[in-house]
Amino acid sequence: MNESPLSAYLHIPFCERKCVYCDFYSIENLSLREEFVELLTREIDMKLAAYPQLAGRMLHTIFFGGGTPSLLTPHELERIVAKLSAHFTIADDCEFTMECNPGTVTLEKLRGYRVLGVNRLSFGVQSFDADELKFLGRIHDADQAREAVRLAREAGFDNVSIDLIFSLPGQKEALLQNTLDEAIALETDHISAYNLIVEHGTPLYRLVQLNKVIELDPERSAELFSIVQQRLAEAGFEQYEISNYAKSPGTRAKHNLVYWDGFKDYVSFGPSAHEFVAGERAWNVSSLEQYGRMIREGKLPRINREVLSMEERRTEVLYLQLRSTGLRIAEFNSVFGEDLLLNPEVTFLIEDGMLRHENGLLRLTERGYRFCDGIVTRLMPSEVSYVLQ
């Protein structure tokens, strides 16, 4: 049996209402939830029948993302967890995360999740300002966000994270400072702070195209990014990835660290979910209707799969490991047959204060995190410019 650790991602494709900036796959028809849970459990069975080598592997992290996983009742979650348990071994110290929308949780529901083994909650808070929340299209207000974190503690969760978004159009420094202060006051174990990206195909993208919303310019975004870094560092959070800050090494998001490793396996289930197993990347259809049809026809609901070339793998590993806890130099050199420390670009980036070399790792500095894409580009052949994050 393959003894290497495995992670599992499950995509729950429902939201009460779509947020203006969001390009994750989800639909607002919540009445299809029960049917979806049945389909999801069938997909798990089908994948394990198609890939018997996955059977019995130990899950070290489980992540329910979406969409809004916290729309699931504990009973619905129980059905899915039972199916995972039937096929995999769940490690005693498995990190089991549920993404939650503060507008969808109750104490009873969170207690129900806890009983089922969920031990980490990630709340999409985004902002504590009423106008910003309205602009983003969130279904909750700041009080509900504060109350959700309080309920999580009451339900027994000792690993709680919140998501924030900055670089909103016209965002003033004082508003961002206030949101950061409010977030810090909640004393969560982890904070993710994302730069707002105007994703193609979202309502926000259309508003920008129509000049109804003006994006913040990249220099201003970089200034706000720097404020986030400084304020969270002062509050004792360690930045261990471009957008992620942990109170201690033990509260880093283990599941996401698997994604950012570039070598570790994760399976996934649900519409639009992506997986990476034994060097092969595959992803499911981004349509619940098509997902259901394919499963009923006895087909895995995949839309594509690919095996990356060595050159593509090199780029991916560089990007993923650099953006998080650091690139493992010896392993990289051995897999890709080079000596990174002899690369003149690496020497230049270290001297320029973008990278540092410590404990066998090549790591971004605080400034380097703001230029990650450009640094990776620089480590590709014949490219020289920095591109702002």
Query: What is the number of the residue whose Cβ is closest to ligand SF4?
Result: 22
Considering the complex, what minimum distance in angstroms separates the CB of residue 192 from ligand SF4? 12
* Burial class for 352, CB neighbours closer than 10 Å (0-12, 13-18, 19+): middle
Among 5, 18, 42, 281, binds ligand SF4 (CB under 6 A): 18
One-letter amino acid for residue 26 of the chain = S
End-to-end, the C-alpha distance of the chain in Å comes to 41
Q: How many CA atoms lie within 13 A of 356 on its CB side?
A: 10
Looking at the Cβ atoms of 15 and 48, the one nearer to ligand SF4 is: 15
Map residue 185 onto helix, strand or coil.
helix
Name residues contacting ligand SF4, limited to 170-189 (CB under 6 A). Answer: none
* Shortest Å distance, C-beta 136 to ligand SF4: 8
- The yes or no reply on residue 244 touching ligand SF4 (CB under 6 A) is no
Q: Which of 12, 67, 183, 288 binds ligand SF4 (CB under 6 A)?
A: 67
For residue 143, count CB atoms less than 10 angstroms from its CB and return exposed for 0-12, middle for 13-18, buried for 19 or more: exposed
Which position among 63, 66, 171, 327 is part of the footprint of ligand SF4 (CB under 6 A)?
Answer: 66
Q: Does residue 15 touch ligand SF4 according to CB under 6 A?
A: yes
26 binds ligand SF4 (CB under 6 A): yes
Smallest gap from Cβ 180 to ligand SF4, in A, equals: 20
Of the candidate residues 6, 8, 12, 19, the single one contacting ligand SF4 (CB under 6 A): 19
CB of 110 to ligand SF4, least distance (A): 17
Supply the DSSP symbol for 101: -
CB of 149 to ligand SF4, least distance (A): 17
If one asks whether residue 33 binds ligand SF4 (CB under 6 A), the answer comes out as: no
Candidates 66-74, 127-135, 277-285, 308-316; binding stretch for ligand SF4 (CB under 6 A): 66-74
Task: Kindly tell me which of 60 and 138 has the beta carbon lying closer to ligand SF4.
Answer: 138
Q: Which residue, 15, 221, 25, 225, is CA-closest to 137?
A: 15
- In terms of Cβ atoms closer than 10 Å to its own Cβ (0-12, 13-18, 19+), residue 286 is middle
Residue from 5, 22, 293, 302 binding ligand SF4 (CB under 6 A) = 22
Q: How far is the CB of 53 from ligand SF4 (least distance, A)?
A: 32
Number of H helices, E strands in the chain: 15, 15
Question: Which residue, 272 or 324, has its beta carbon nearer to ligand SF4?
Answer: 272
Residues in region 115-134 near ligand SF4 by CB under 6 A: 124
- Length of the chain (residues): 389
Binder of ligand SF4 out of 9, 37, 43, 68 (CB under 6 A): 68
Stretch of 60-68, 184-192, 214-222, 253-261 contacting ligand SF4, by CB under 6 A: 60-68
Residue 243 found at the interface with ligand SF4 (CB under 6 A):
no
- CA distances in angstroms from 291 to 231, 299, 301, listed in the order given: 43, 9, 5
- Return the number of the residue (65 or 368) whose C-beta is nearest ligand SF4: 65
Structure tokens, 35: 């049917």
- CA 223 – CA 216 distance, rounded (Å): 11
Contact 171, 136 (CB under 8 A): no
* Beta carbons of 164 and 128 less than 8 angstroms apart: no
DSSP state of 127: -
Interacting span for ligand SF4 (CB under 6 A) from 22-30, 81-89, 300-308, 318-326: 22-30
Cβ burial 251-280 (10 Å sphere, 16+ → b, else e): bbbbbbbbbbbbbbbbbbbbbbbebbbeee
162 forms part of the interface with ligand SF4 (CB under 6 A): no
Q: Give how many residues touch ligand SF4 by CB under 6 A.
A: 11
Q: What's the burial of 13, exposed, middle or buried (CB within 10 Å: 0-12/13-18/19+)?
A: buried
> How near is the Cβ of 151 to ligand SF4 at its closest, in Å?
18
101 is a site residue for ligand SF4 (CB under 6 A): yes
Residues that bind ligand SF4 (CB under 6 A): 15, 18-19, 22, 24, 26, 66-68, 101, 124
